[in-house]
Amino acid sequence: MNLANGGKRGLLGLCFAALIFLGAAEADARPAPTSFAELAERLSPAVVNISTSHVVDPGEMELRGIPEDSPLHEFFEEFLEQQRKSGPQRMQSLGSGFLIDPDGIVVTNNHVIDGADRIEVIMTDGTTLPATVAGTDPKTDLAVLRVESDKPLPYVEIGDSSGLRVGDWVLAIGNPFGLGGTVTAGIVSALNRDIHAGNYDDFIQTDAAINRGNSGGPLFNLDGEVVGVNSAIISPSGASVGIGFAVPASTVKPIVAQILEYGETRRGWIGVRIQTVTPDLADSLGLGAARGALVAGVTSEGPAAEAGLEPGDVVLAFDGRNIATMRDLPRVVAEARIGSTVDMQIFRDGETLTRRIAVAQLADEPEEEPAAPAVAEPENKGPVVLGLGLSALNDDLRRRFNVGENLSGVVVVEVDPLSAAAEKGVREGDVIVQVAQRAVSSPEDVLRIVTSEQKAGRNSVLLRLVAEGETRFVAIRLGGS
């Protein structure tokens, strides 16, 4: 009897504790609203339709991608010929956007207005206003427009996306196809998504339906603040399948501010080329867990060079912000104030160091010139190490692989396709300049250091490679040469 009573008291106590815990969790989490009607009614007037058009000259159209001997080639060639005879045509497209100022500032996607020679903003009440482009940022697919009105326009506020969590409710409002507003609700299904759209990918992923024509529309939280700009979906059909992406407000707000102030974006730049720190690279560097951004190259006379950064350094923090992965660094540097001097934490030779670095402005990247074609020359192969046929550099090999006179190292002349080196992308023409962060000038140097690393019980060895003037690091598993 006592045991039973004690068991009941224990069970009641456990249930009570569980209720307290659940109550605390419910206090932290925001409950689902019974309706989004009030929110949609309040916000929809600020969401607009973006109608664009541009003139296409059929005479400039070319048939590409279809072999001339294909039956389809003749069919489409006839179709194009008919289009050419009809003369220039005006093509139209539609998207969404939203007002952020009563004086007529509109935010949308760059791809919605790209190439347009006529842009109109259509309000939910049917009012049509001509728009001009205040500025664009193709790197984040954002654009800012201006419209003029004889009365204040409805608008919404760009909020703070940093507090978003997976599972939070969001509302996507668009104005596609001239139908008036569309409203869809869902949750945040992922954060910090990289969809390989550019160097600054940091997308919010949501299952709120985003269909064609919703591009450029706002993603709202339950406070009615814009937390993202709907930009892309993953779908084989073009319709929503529950995977949509929005540019976060933390990216949108500073870009819009820069465009309104300067007419363009101004990003920070420090002059490094970086690569991902893989587990193999982290092991070979003695870093432990894979983290940070590995410096593969340093621009001469750039801020990083002046601060003393070297290839092989791993950037762990920048201006007090942690760099967990390689793609964190471009965003953090881009957002830094141009002209400021900040602390940067790096890992080098087993030590964590701090360097002061000045943030410069990123200039437009010049187009790369195609490399000169390689000319076959006789090889002078040395020993095979790590599945790589190696040779000392000579004049013939420098010409063949376009290696500058000032570069010292050992050139790769053959790669075993089944080797670990081949898996990591090592290829003919790569010049090995360092092995295990020690300079090499002959195949025998490479063999000696690799053998030494094997005897020391290393799992992998770090190679610093140069090809066509570009530096990268590769960690090769050890298990025989």
Please identify every residue annotated as catalytic. 111, 141, 215
Quote the tokens at residue 39: 């929110």
Helix, strand, or coil (residue 438): strand
CB 332 within 8 A of CB 250: no
Could you tell me the two tokens for 158?
Answer: 């760009």
Distances (CA, A) of 42 to 122, 225, 357: 18, 11, 46
Are 435 and 462 in contact by the 8 Å Cβ rule? The answer is yes
For residue 293, count CB atoms less than 10 angstroms from its CB and return exposed for 0-12, middle for 13-18, buried for 19 or more: buried
Q: Which residues contact 370 (CB under 8 A, 6 or more apart)?
A: none
Assigned token pair, 278: 């893989």
User: Angle at CA 15, nearest 5°, toward 11 and 18?
Assistant: 140
Question: Can you state the percent helix, strand and coil of the chain, rounding each to 5?
Answer: 25, 35, 40
| Listed residue (248, 244, 253, 245) closest to 157, CA to CA | 253
Q: Which helix (H) or strand (E) holds 79?
A: helix 71-86
- Phi/psi for 84 (5° steps) reads -65, -35
Residue 251 identity (one-letter amino acid): T
Give yes or no for a contact between 173 and 47, defined as CB atoms under 8 angstroms apart: yes
Q: Using alpha carbons, list the distances in angstroms from residue 361 to 139, 266, 336.
A: 15, 6, 10
Token pair recorded at residue 204: 């919010």
d(C-alpha 241, C-alpha 272), whole Å = 39
Residue 152 DSSP code: P
For the chain, the farthest-separated pair of C-alpha atoms sits apart, in whole angstroms, at 99
- Residue 405: closest CA among 464, 469, 465: 469
Q: Find where tokens 């001339």 sit.
A: 68
Q: In whole angstroms, what is the distance from residue 116 CA to residue 134 CA?
A: 14
What is the C-alpha to C-alpha distance for residues 365 and 198, in angstroms, rounded to an integer?
14
d(CA 132, CA 148): 10
